[in-house]
Structure 1
Amino acid sequence: MKRSVVVATVLWLEVAGCTPEPNPQVNQLAVDQTLRVAIPEDIGVFEPLDPDQLFYPPDYSIAQNLFDGLFRMDDQLRVVPDIAAKMPIISADGLTYTIPLRPDARFSNGDPVTATDVMYSWNRAVIAGGPLASFSGDANVFGHIAGYADVERAIGTGNPPPQLAGLSAPDPHTIQIRLSSPVGDYFLTQLTLPPMWIVDQHVIQAGGEQRWWQHSDSLVGTGPFKMVRRVPGSSMVFAPVPNWWGGGAAPLLKAVELDVVPDAIKVLQGYRSGHYDLVGLGDYGPGAAGTKLASELTGDPAHAAEVHRFIYGRTEWLGFNLQSGPFSGVNGRLGRLALSQAIDPVELARAACASGTLCFPATGGLISKGLDGYLGDGSNNVLRFNVRDARANLQEWDPTGSVRNRITYVYIANSLFRDVAKNLQRQWRRNLGIEVTLQGYDPATFIYDRLSGDYALFRASWAADYNSPENWYDDLFLGNGAPSSAPGYDSPQFVTTVTQAENASGAAAQNAYQQADRMLLEQAVIDPLLYYVHTVVMKPYVAGFGANALYDYRWTAIKLLQH
């Protein structure tokens, strides 16, 4: 194993090993079980806190405590029943899913949950056309259900039919889904997503479609917590639902207080003074305050244990235009190899990742560690850092030197991406002797131009919506995302492999997906650079907090120890 891979593995172990462990000598509960947290922005800034529109990860991390679907992901990202009484009964032809519902499921206001509520919630989400219900192809969470195309056409006329033809309720506690064609394992994963969460029709109609989620008296769900107070733009308070139907031990927390504090200095002061117990809730990320705190505390032996780093399912990679420009055509692979092999990912991480607070080297393929489809540490063999091979490929690609110094790397102009860009530029200068121009743009310009195929070399990234490789390959390389992920990439073998994976299940599906990832690496279609990290800073007396590669665990396991 080469040194860069060894160091990268050590960096990963530093990240993975920081799971919160309470002090075994302190096991008495604090009298006050109120978790106080600072967050940088209010709910609903980017989208409503409404399951049919929910997409923004930080809002998701809050909403998952308020709502349930028929199924959910457990802490290990396995699909388990939620409002459903058990896993679906699937017909022999794979077209019909019969799902019994728990008869004891209740909304937080006491209303019972029936099949009618499921029908209402799902049909409402289809018509609303939120982000996860408007993607093309297999990425659309409703796209496989029979009748979806009819609803989609009718929405354009302003007169959508009342429900999907493939959705029915044989009795008050049974839902039946009829698919237009058989689907692989990922369909069950999609059933856990926000558009599939159940809402209370009576509450929404009384509170108003645009307003019901904004107020504590009408933000009603089926989850273990409910909102009890909100001052828009300032604060929110959540409390456990008494006698929650979900079972298990009742939450030990009596309240979760979220203060909206966009000022990083005030967050720092609040944490240091003990006013806040935790910084970095959800996928807000550590922000400026959390990054500074993490840096300070990591270097202080007395407080280093307050910094916790969790894998976050996002990958950043070097993107190439395979349709036109210097990296296209048969010879273009040599240029892609040259630039990729000239990058030491460990050096890049040290320059850009704030001592592991933000990211760490990507050595295991496109899909980030912690998610299904990860290839394994040190799997980027073809693209591994190797200056000798990089220089040889550069010379074969551009023997006259007419191309190498006319390359521009394009990225979104923010501090992290700028740090990445500058380090790439330095490494290419040192290892290849070339001068790559850097160009940063605002997000709107960058995305528009990249979708138009205007860039030859660019920054690209993806954050998983759910735990299935399908969410990466189909969305990025076969669907609408393909023009921006790898313009001009056209491989029948890749398409066939991904299609086989999508129609398979279990190990057969995973093996095919991993084969597709190896194709991307072998052909140097992309060069994975960094996997992202979710960093949380919390007081030693906060126990039970955790996160997986997609989201924080629910608040039900959190408790505050005596301090």
Structure 2
Amino acid sequence: PKQSLDFVPVDNWWGSPKPVLKKIHVDIIADLSSAIAKYDQNGFDNVGFGDMNGNIPPEDVLRIKAGPKSSELKFIQKTRTTWVGFNYEKGPFAGTAGKDLRKAFSLAIDRTKLVDVACSHGVTCSAATGGLISKGLRGYLGDNADPLAKFDAATAKQLLQSADPNKTKIKGLVYQYNPGAFNKAIAENLQSQWQDNLGVKVDLAATERQTFFQRRTKKEYTIFRHSWQADYDHPQDWFDNLFITDAGNGGTGYSNPQLDALVKGADAKKTEDALADYKKASQLMIDDAAYAPLVYGVGVFLTKPYVKGPQPNAFNDPYWNELSILQH
């Protein structure tokens, strides 16, 4: 239980083409480094289907990319954005009073460096410069359209000095995240940049995934990792789940009545008529410095050359009935 799954074809299935494979075995492995080691020993035919969030450790990606099996690495632009969330209800980043601090922490991040260090030199992710809605989706603001993604250490220091001259408000800050090689690399680089570019010491704490999500939803964290992978290509999926007042997956307590009104109206319109309003809502979040954008995900997976069939797209794995194993 919770360690592996086995799938077999359904007899007399109505679809086409009929499945070729008689069985597909899936191991559920949290540590992808161990999965890759087994893949290298021909213990797996594929690593990454079902969880293509760019979580293959950067060092493994670089090693494989530079080696003879580089063609077995596959990359797909994903629909996931990762950002820094701030507690909008309590603590140093709360409300209007915390805006300058939120903006300072965002402008202190050099995303080019972040992507280089944490994402295999930009292989497994790209800098999130066009708003929180991922690149390629409806509602994306455009490359370099989000001023919160700009690196400006001088302005960041000025904002910090104005908002917290003695650094008493931000003393003892802990950046919270859920475990994983990718999340850890991001967290450690943020810690380094905030120290170097702001002169602020931020501790790190990794919490088991389920507990992390529960505590984040209860708004128990001050500053933390946040992300979203789109369920479908519509801005409503982002705003109603994350950004409107009392959004179920928000975790921040962010609330802006103007945004709520825009989103409510946009949700009732046809998609093409609603996009302008959703983009206005995104601009309100930028004006509020409600988040610190980090990266857009690139899905990475490994597949043996003898695995034949369609490859995953941004939203889905391939249909397994179309997969087959060539003679090898």
TM-score range, shorter-chain basis? 0.7 to 0.9
Aligned amino acid, residue 314 of structure 1: R
Contact 2:83/2:293, CA 8 A, preserved across alignment: yes
Which residue pairs with 2:193 in the alignment?
427
Helix, strand or coil at the partner of 2:23: strand
Superposed CA offset, 1:426-471 (max 9, x none): 1011111121233333345433433333322122122222332211
> Gaps spanning 5+ residues in structure 2: where?
none
Match of residue 293, structure 2, among 498, 515, 528: 528
Q: Is the 8 A contact 1:337 1:383 kept in 2?
A: no
Q: Contact 2:174–2:223 (CA<8 Å) still a contact in 1?
A: yes
Question: 1:244-255, aligned counterparts within 5 Å?
Answer: 245-246=14-15, 250=17, 254-255=20-21
Instruction: Describe the shift of the 1:516–1:262 C-alpha distance in structure 2 as closer, same or farther (beyond 3 A).
Output: closer
RMSD: 3.2
- Separation in 2, partners of 1:287, 1:375: 26
Number of equivalences: 325
Q: What do residues 147-197 of structure 1 show as CA deviations (whole Å, max 9, x unaligned)?
A: xxxxxxxxxxxxxxxxxxxxxxxxxxxxxxxxxxxxxxxxxxxxxxxxxxx
Which of 47, 59, 68 is matched with 1:279 structurally?
A: 47
For residue 238 of structure 1, what is the aligned residue in structure 2? 9
The C-alpha deviation readout for 1:23-52, integer Å capped at 9, x for no partner, is xxxxxxxxxxxxxxxxx9434xxxxxxxxx
Give the Cα separation in 2 of the matches to 1:298 and 1:245: 41
CA distance in 2, matches of 1:393, 1:402: 14
Specify the alignment match of 1:345 in structure 2: 111
**Which has the bigger relative contact order, CA under 8 A and spacing at least 6?**
2
- Equivalence for 1:553: 318
Give the alignment's TM-score, normalised by structure 2: 0.84
Q: Could you say if the C-alpha distance between residues 469 and 326 of structure 1 is closer, same or farther in structure 2, counting changes exceeding 3 Å?
A: same
1:442 to 189, 208, 213: 208
Residue of structure 2 equivalent to 1:328:
94
2:132 maps to 1:361: no
1:41–1:376 CA distance, 2 compared to 1 (3 A)? farther
Q: 1:446 & 1:273 partners in 2: Cα distance?
A: 34
Aligned to 2:317, the other structure's residue is in SS state coil
* CA distance in 2 between partners of 1:346 and 1:317 (Å): 15
Worse-superposed segment, 305-314 or 551-560: 551-560
Q: Which residue of 1 aligns with 2:183?
A: 417
- 1:296 equivalent among 55, 63, 76: 63
Q: Secondary structure at the match of 2:289?
A: coil
User: What amino acid does structure 2 have at the position aligned with 1:328?
Assistant: A
Look at both structures and tell me which one has the larger radius of gyration over its CA atoms: 1
Specify whether residues 273 and 450 from structure 1 end up closer, same or farther in structure 2 by C-alpha distance, changes over 3 A only: closer
Q: Secondary structure at the match of 1:282?
A: coil
For structure 1, the 5+ residue unaligned runs are 1-39, 44-234
- 2:218 is aligned to 452
Aligned to 2:282: 517
Give how far 1:291 is off. Answer: 6.8
Contact 1:310/1:535, CA 8 A, preserved across alignment: yes
Q: Counterpart of 1:42?
A: 4
Alignment-mate amino acid for residue 255 of structure 2: D
1:255 is aligned with what amino acid?
L
Please state whether the residue corresponding to 1:314 is helix, strand or coil. Answer: strand
**1:558 positional shift:** 4.2
1:324 shift after superposition: 2.0
Residue 512 of structure 1 and its aligned partner are, at CA, apart by: 1.8
Hey, what's the Cα distance between the residues in 1 that align with 2:96 and 2:310? 50
Is the Cα–Cα contact under 8 Å of residues 111 and 149 in structure 2 kept in the other structure? Answer: no
Q: Is the 8 A contact 1:283 1:551 kept in 2?
A: no
Give the whole-Å Cα distance in 2 for the aligned partners of 1:257 and 1:457: 44
- Separation in 2, partners of 1:467, 1:551: 12
Match among 108, 124, 138 for residue 372 of structure 1: 138
Deviations 1:295-316 (A, max 9, x none): 432112x421210011232222
Residue 319 of structure 1 is matched in structure 2 by 85
State TM-score, norm by structure 1.
0.51
Partner of 2:262: 497
Instruction: Work out the percentage of aligned pairs sharing the same amino acid.
Output: 34
Instruction: Name the CA distance, whole Å, in 2 between partners of 1:259 and 1:328.
Output: 47
Cα deviation, 1:325-370, whole Å, max 9, x if unaligned, reads 2112433111111000000122222333345565332222112224
1:106 is matched with none
Tell me how far 1:269 sits from its aligned partner: 6.5
